[in-house]
């Protein structure tokens, strides 16, 4: 394969992992989250680096506080070096809780700094550092609920996403 085409494919596969991670977090589908990492990966969100198992347990507890989260990723830059890569992803995440505390209702800017490794032909995160950039509180009077007659998102397998995926007739 042309080396430029191979590099484009690698970058697309890595970017897909970054986006799938956000899907897993926002749907609270921790099988998806786990699949984005190599089994021996480390994740550092905040001040502590955690093994994959510890990270998944931590993020499951953390996201349970929220009614919804939405992670938006842009500006993914991937630098390749054979079967390893560095990826910097810029993001904005919205967090909404039924608890009115400002630290549970906010929009925050961040970056993911990821070391990816291709093992057995598959790109996955070997090491991640979450870098905080800024946060803004959202007060209860600023939230607007979607109209009742709109399709509502959920944070589990009853979200409309899973019906769409099921309609593909594949084992995703």
Edge-to-edge strands of the sheet including 48-51? Answer: 48-51, 37-45, 122-137, 106-119, 84-96, 68-81
pTM more than 0.75: yes
Q: Is 156 exposed, middle or buried (0-12, 13-18, 19+ CB in 10 A)?
A: exposed
In degrees, rounded to 5, the angle at the alpha carbon of residue 96 between the alpha carbons of residues 57 and 70 is 70
Please name the residues in contact with 142: beta carbons below 8 A apart, sequence gap of 6 or more.
none
pLDDT of amino acid 141: 86
18 C-beta neighbours (distance < 10 Å), count: 22
**CATH architecture of the region 3-143:** Roll (3.10)
pLDDT band per the 50, 70, 90 thresholds, residue 170: low
Q: How much is the mean pLDDT over the chain?
A: 94
Distances (CA, A) of 145 to 6, 25, 139, 148, 149: 44, 21, 13, 8, 11
Cα–Cα distance for residue pair 59/93, rounded to 1 Å: 14
Which tens digits make up the pLDDT trace of 11-56?
A: 999 999 999 999 999 999 999 999 999 999 999 998 899 999 999 9
**What mean pLDDT do residues 139-145 have?**
87
pLDDT of amino acid 171: 61
Extract the tokens encoding 116: 């990816």
């Amino acid at each position: 394969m042309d080396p430029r085409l191979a590099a484009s494919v690698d970058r697309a596969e890595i970017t897909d992992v970054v986006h799938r991670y956000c899907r897993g977090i926002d749907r609270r589908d921790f099988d998806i989250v786990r699949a984005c990492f190599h089994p021996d990966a480390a994740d550092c969100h905040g001040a502590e680096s955690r093994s994959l198992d510890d990270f998944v347990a931590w993020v499951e507890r953390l996201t349970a506080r929220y009614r919804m989260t939405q992670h938006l990723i842009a500006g993914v830059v991937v630098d390749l070096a054979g079967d390893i890569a560095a990826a910097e992803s810029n993001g904005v995440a919205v967090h909404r809780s039924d608890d009115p505390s400002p630290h549970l209702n906010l929009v925050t800017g961040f970056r993911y700094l990821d070391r990816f490794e291709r093992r057995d032909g598959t790109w996955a995160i070997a090491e991640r550092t979450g870098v905080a950039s800024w946060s803004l509180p959202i007060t209860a009077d600023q939230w607007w609920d979607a109209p009742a007659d709109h399709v509502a998102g959920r944070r589990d397998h009853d979200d409309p996403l899973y019906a769409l995926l099921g309609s593909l007739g594949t084992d995703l």
